[in-house]
Amino acid sequence: MTNWRLILSQNNTPHANMATDEAILKAYAAGKAPPTLRIYSWKPESISLGYFQKAKEVLNTKRCLDQSVLFVRRITGGEAIFHGDDLTYSIICSKDDLVLPESVKESFKTISSFLINAYKAMGLEAAFSCENQDVVAPIMFESRKRSDFCFAANQDFDITIKGKKIGGNAQKRRRNMIFQHGSIPLSLDINRISLFLRENLKDVKDRVISLSDAAGRKISFDDFSEIIIKSFQKTFGLELNIDKLTDEELQVANTLSREKYENKEWNYSADYD
């Protein structure tokens, strides 16, 4: 059985979070790190942009700066995510580490099944959007039109609870390697998020849900971390070993944060392509 590593980290800046994920990916690619599940949070409030998004088109960048809401561009595609009261995970592995199917869509579904199982362990009726069309809010299917806000979009393997989308996930592949990360909102304040995105989000409340709203009680980061860890191990039949980043990973992460993710040219670069 492959040895898996668990990294727990809270309250990192957006630049440090994206740099750490990429540093782990580089270490894994070089054979210097085992497959890794990382669970983390963001501080201060931040926005992550999909790789192909243009900051000036998606965000009210002046308001972000005025209110110290940082934003960072991801290496994965997809839409903007507001990170405040949420839990984010990342998975770095190969197809063989989780015995994944060749199909990108099917592998995405297989990996994301640990989230479905985590919600079910909480007594919530969660399902992939494509498998739950009878109960998914009709407005969700109207959201197949283009949106700059992740939680306002709807794809086949997005996860729904009570007919509403919860969180968002994205994947990037490099040969046999897979990097997938996702964000689950513990609570949602659409009115606040609307301050920083240019898109009108007035209808979003009807088709998204936070974990605390779904559960009918406040769910903390620590509470859900424990559920996620247990679900990941049970879903894939493996054991996670709590560990920390190596000195080399820390060094690479610090360099990436400083030279790439804190760099205006990276975060705005899609504006100049």
Instruction: Find the mean pLDDT for residues 102-111.
Output: 88
Among 67-81, 124-138, 151-165, the least confident range: 124-138
Determine which one of 64, 93, 130, 150 is catalytic: 150
How would residue 203 be classed by pLDDT, with cut points 50, 70 and 90?
A: confident
Residue ranges per domain, the chain? 4-271
Query: What's the burial of 254, exposed, middle or buried (CB within 10 Å: 0-12/13-18/19+)?
Result: middle
- Band of the pLDDT at 141, cuts 50, 70, 90? very low
Three-class DSSP category at 158 = coil
CATH 3.30.930.10 corresponds to the domain 4-271: yes
Q: What is the mean pLDDT of residues 155-177?
A: 89
What is the distance between the alpha carbons of residues 203 and 152, in angstroms, rounded to a whole number?
A: 9
On the question of pLDDT at 218 being above 60, the answer is yes
**pLDDT at residue 135, as a whole number:** 45
* Token representation of residue 9: 């980290």
How much is the pLDDT for 138?
A: 47
Q: How far apart are the first and last CA of the chain?
A: 44
Residue 74, pLDDT above cutoff 50 = yes
Tokens of 77: 């595609």
pLDDT for residue 1: 55
The alpha carbon of residue 158 and the mean position of all alpha carbons in its chain are separated, in whole angstroms, by 12
In the chain the beta strands, taken as DSSP E runs, fall at 4-12, 36-42, 46-49, 70-73, 81-83, 86-94, 126-128, 159-161, 164-165, 168-174, 177-185, 240-242
Residue 102 banded pLDDT, cuts 50, 70, 90: confident
Annotated catalytic, 93? Answer: no
